[in-house]
Amino acid sequence: MLGMLGGILVMGTVGVVVGVGLALASKIFYVYVDPKIEAVDEALPGANCGGCGYPGCGSNAEAIVAGKSSPSSCVAGGTEIAEEIAEIMGMKLEAREPDIAMPGCSYGLHVADVKYIYNGINDCRAAVLLNGGTKVCPIGCLGLGTCVQACPFDALSMGPDNLPVVDPDRCTGCGTCERICPKHIITLTSHTRRIQAEHTTDECTAPCQRACPAGIDIPAYIHQIAEKNYAEAVRIIKETNPFPAICGRICVQPCEYDCRRNLVDEPVAINHLKRFVSDYERTSGERINVPRAPETGKRIAVVGGGAEGLTAAYLLNRLGHDSTAYEATAQMGGILRIGLPENRLPRDVLDWEINGILDAGVQALTNQKLGRDFTIDSLLKEGFSGVFVATGGWDSQLSDQLSEKSDGPLQTLPGVQLLIDFILNQRAGKASPAGKNVMILGGGKSGLEAARAALKNGSENVNIVLRSSLERSSFSEEELVAAEQEGIQFYFQSAVTRMQGEGSKLSHVEIAHILNSDEEETHTERELLSVDTMLTGAGRFPELIYVVRKEEGEADEEEEAELPDPVPWETLIPYPGPSAEEDIGIFRPGEVTGDYKAVVEAIGSGRRAASSIHRFLTDEPVEAPANMIRTYTRVLSLEQLEPVTELPRQKMPERTHEEQIADPSAEIALGFSEEQAVTEAKRCLQCGLICYRRVEGKTIH
């Protein structure tokens, strides 16, 4: 009996000890599972296919809750599952353009200069750890096929040139290949991404690409011509340039000056090839357009129906926004229509290009003049999410003067005038009050003349803003002292970064004071000044994006909420182009400040404006990539090519002299034949950032 009681006590004691131990262990080893992750994991189908880019549905659920993956990232689930996950996350599900993998290298392992031989290594990630892999090029593909092995959908294979090839029918855009590639050669892309893409130092770019103001992927479309895929070539061009037929006739072709075939014989006839495929589209009668991204419900107004404005309107439409172009004259086209002879740019070609933009979905309103028929305020009041002004300067004034319905000088932006107009009116005795608070942007000695005239006509505060330093200004010390005594204030090393106002009135201008440190990094201090009139000495109006001004913390409910009258607004500045020497403010050094010398520059400016607006509407920073290739960026290049066979450049057929005399309005250049185009396209070296193969120590193709 005593033994039985002892046994019971021992067992009870052991049970208590075990219970206490388990309780302590549960406290020590307890792992908290976020109920939101559990809910998302339960909503996912449990296929664990890896199509989302994560090893399983549980990992994807964690990534979704952490904001690293989208509610619609599951390729095995449908819209209903995506909507369920979005509801769990308290998010609104929006349609998204599908991604696809894209290799970004032109030269494979078989033409590389092999620096090292790694016995037994067949993985790119391992090879890249050993002195950068096998290529001279610090960017080029290693060609070991790690991305192919990692792809969960067999959408990748290695081509005969040892570069990955994507099967678009199998690729789900999961991003596994992008994450696995140590050189970032293969990346996810989409039409939206390519519209917004800027050439950067971490990709293999050709000299012609870097020289193109519109940013066209020139080697890609020439390759498609060589393969006789003409429609695809047109589509590639239109991702950044909706005017291939116009540019193919009148472009100044800076790309050809930088073509590497210049080191051997003659440059590839890049522009003639662009004309060939654009003529192919026109004669086929079928419009070729970049596919449109899912609709965003946002409306954008573009003021100006020239090359820049129509480019911005077209690309905004392709990015999913509804765009409307306003033109002051009876026809779209701007200086293209009134400034070029018929034998260089036939009007049926111009109309074909413009009609293609309108057919794509851009709405055009003609005989609608800013300041007469509508204002920035009225457009914002109508519900436009933004207003992009692409009215230019001299070209718009010339167009206005030549218009049969011209009714006076071009109306300016709210509170903004051209300095030259103000000066000429003053000299002609047409003096009028400039405003209480006047800011003059640049202008040199003319700016000082205008400042004194403004004070004479009743202005109380006059500021002159200059990008140059005091030492590099055109003013003498005596002039500065005298001007300051008259009440004129100077802001040296400064730039206008933002404007604010209500309705048709300008109220404030923000300027940035540019300071250069010893490390040559640019820092800025910003100051908001009361300004009701700004005179710009650049010869053209600044390209600005007007949006409704929101108070800090105010929700973005412009579609639902009633806007105040007048509408408070502020401006955004499109991010700078490759020629800009500084990123801050309007009229940046290096960028075109007069009217564009080439239509391709206006097209490039319109594309950057569209990209800037899209970034603003999608809450992305409106700025250029930090590693964007600029005009002054140094990249790897070469001075000679060996052994590259000399091939004659195809000559453009033209009308005879007699034919030109018989019909002066007929187009002189006739365009390449298909045989000429394919032959010329095959002259393209398809070069990347640097060439990899070597002969006797010389870097070549």
Query: What is the average per-residue pLDDT within 666-683?
Result: 91
Domain at 192-291+636-701, CATH class: mainly alpha
pLDDT digits (tens, 9 = 90+) for 281-327: 999 988 999 999 999 999 999 999 999 999 999 999 999 999 999 99
Give just the sign of the alpha carbon dihedral 85, 322, 196, 99.
positive
Tokens 């405003």, residue located: 435
Say yes or no to pLDDT of 3 above 60: no
Query: What is the average per-residue pLDDT within 58-73?
Result: 74
Q: Where are the alpha helices (DSSP H) in 239-294?
A: 244-250, 254-257, 270-284
With contact defined as beta carbons under 8 Å apart, do 243 and 335 qualify? Answer: no
pLDDT bracket for residue 701 (50, 70, 90): very low
pLDDT digits (tens, 9 = 90+) for 186-201: 888 888 999 999 998 8
- Return the minimum-mean-pLDDT range out of 5-9, 166-170, 249-253, 360-364: 5-9
Q: What is the pLDDT of residue 478?
A: 87
Q: Are strands 386-389 and 186-189 parallel, antiparallel or unpaired?
A: unpaired
pLDDT bracket for residue 474 (50, 70, 90): confident
Question: Helix, strand or coil for residue 698?
Answer: strand
Edge-first strand listing for the sheet containing 461-465: 416-418, 533-536, 437-441, 461-465, 488-491
Query: What is the average per-residue pLDDT within 513-522?
Result: 62
In CATH terms, the fold of domain 100-189 is Alpha-Beta Plaits (3.30.70)
Higher pLDDT, 145 or 20: 145
CATH of domain 293-406+541-551+564-625: 3.50.50.60
pTM: 0.84
Query: What is the average per-residue pLDDT within 26-50?
Result: 67
Helix axes 674-681, 218-226, angle to 10 degrees: 130
| Whole-number Å distance between alpha carbons of 546 and 542 | 12
User: Which CATH architecture fits 414-539?
Assistant: 3-Layer(bba) Sandwich (3.50)
Q: What is the CA radius of gyration of the chain?
A: 31
Domain at 35-89, CATH class: mainly alpha
- Domain 293-406+541-551+564-625 identical in fold to domain 414-539: yes
Class of residue 247 by CB neighbours under 10 A (exposed 0-12, middle 13-18, buried 19+): buried
Q: What is the pLDDT of residue 316?
A: 97
pLDDT bracket for residue 409 (50, 70, 90): very low
**One-letter-per-residue 3-state SS of 618-663:** CCCCCCCCCCECCCCCCCCCCCCCCCCCCCCCCCCCECCHHHHHHC
Q: Pick from 311, 346, 312, 350: which is nearest to 331 by CA?
A: 350
| Whole-number Å distance between alpha carbons of 67 and 279 | 47
Question: What share of the chain has pLDDT > 90, as a percent?
Answer: 40
What DSSP assignment string belongs to 354-372? HHHHHHTT-EEE-S--BTT
Q: What is the pLDDT of residue 399?
A: 46
Higher pLDDT, 167 or 2: 167
Query: What is the average per-residue pLDDT within 50-54?
Result: 65
Domains of the chain by residue range: 35-89, 100-189, 192-291+636-701, 293-406+541-551+564-625, 414-539
Higher pLDDT, 65 or 210: 210
What DSSP assignment string belongs to 113-176? ------TT---HHHHHTTTT-S-SSSSS---S-HHHHH-TTS-EEE-TTSSEEE-TTT-----H
What DSSP assignment string belongs to 489-530? EEE-SEEEEEEEEETTEEEEEEEEEEEE-TT--EEEEEEEEE
Tokens 């940035």, residue located: 512
Tokens 């960017």, residue located: 139
pLDDT bracket for residue 404 (50, 70, 90): very low
| Whole-number Å distance between alpha carbons of 690 and 674 | 31
Q: What is the pLDDT of residue 142?
A: 83
Beta-carbon contacts of 480 under 8 Å, excluding residues fewer than 6 positions away, are 470, 490
